[in-house]
Chains A and B, each alone.
Chain A
Amino acid sequence: KAGVTQTPRYLIKTRGQQVTLSCSPISGHRSVSWYQQTPGQGLQFLFEYFSETQRNKGNFPGRFSGRQFSNSRSEMNVSTLELGDSALYLCASSLGTTTDTQYFGPGTRLTVL
C-alpha cells in the first residue's frame, strides 16, 4: 500500500505571495489533517478534512485554508505569505475515527524570503 505523499517537497516563496501544497492520502483513508511544524512552536494542528468537509480547525488566521476532493486528496493554501510561515507542513491521513492511527507524509518544507 502506498504511503501518504506530499508535493512539492520543497518550496521557496517571497513575502506576499501565495502557495498551494498537495497531499495524497493512503488509499481508503477519508480523513486528511494538516500540521505546521516550526522550531519555536513545535507541531500545531491546522485543520482536518473528512469526506470533503472541514471537520475541525486549529487556531490559525484565515490566510490558511484547505479543501478536500472526492478522491480524498487535499490541498492547503496560504495566501499573503509572511516570514513566519516558513515551516515544515505535514499532512496525515487516517480512516477518520478517534481510534485510528494517523499516517504522515514526508512534509513540504516552505521557506518564505
Chain B
Amino acid sequence: KQEVTQIPAALSVPEGENLVLNCSFTDSAIYNLQWFRQDPGKGLTSLLLIQSSQREQTSGRLNASLDKSSGRSTLYIAASQPGDSATYLCAVEGSNYQLIWGAGTKLIIKP
C-alpha cells in the first residue's frame, strides 16, 4: 500500500531565503508525482507534475526533483516571498489513476 510522507509538517522562514520541502513515498511504481499548494479555505493549485521518466521540472522560482529508486521528491523554492505562504502537498499517482497524498507542509514566509 502506497504511503506518502512530507517533512517537515510546518516551516517558517524569513523572506528571501531559499528552501526545500521533502516528500517520500514507499512504492516506487508510480506514474507521476505532483506538487500542489493550498491556500486556507480554498482548493488546490497544481504547481508541478513530474512524470516517472523525468528527474525534475521547473516553473519560475520552483524546482521539483524526483528520485524513484529512493522514493523521494523535493520541492525547491528560490527567493521566497510572503505570497508563497500556503500548505504544500505532494501526491503520487499509480497505475490505478489514484492520487495518494501526503499530509502537507505548512509554509510561512515572514516579511
B-binding residues in A (CB < 8 A): 4, 31, 33, 35, 42-45, 48, 55-56, 58, 90, 92, 98-107
Assuming the A-B contacts A101-B49, A106-B42, A107-B42, are A42 and B97 also in contact, with contact meaning beta carbons closer than 8 angstroms in the complex?
no
From residue 33 to 48 of chain B, which have CB atoms closer than 8 A to chain A? 34, 36, 42-46
Partner of A56, one of B46, B51, B89, B98: B98
- Listed stretches B10-18, B70-78, B99-107; interface member: B99-107
Partner of B103, one of A42, A55, A56, A100: A42
A-binding residues in B (CB < 8 A): 31-32, 34, 36, 42-46, 49, 51, 89, 91, 93, 95-104
With both chains docked as a complex, state the minimum distance between the C-beta of B108 and any C-beta of chain A, in angstroms. 18
Complex contacts, B45 vs chain A, CB 8 Å: 104
The SS class assigned to the B binding surface is: strand
Q: Is the CB of A42 within 8 A of B101?
A: yes
Tally of contacts, chain A with chain B, CB under 8 A:
55
Extra A-B contacts (16), CB below 8 Å, given A99-B49, A106-B42? A33-B97, A33-B99, A42-B104, A44-B101, A45-B100, A48-B98, A55-B97, A58-B98, A99-B32, A100-B49, A101-B49, A102-B46, A102-B99, A104-B36, A106-B43, A107-B42
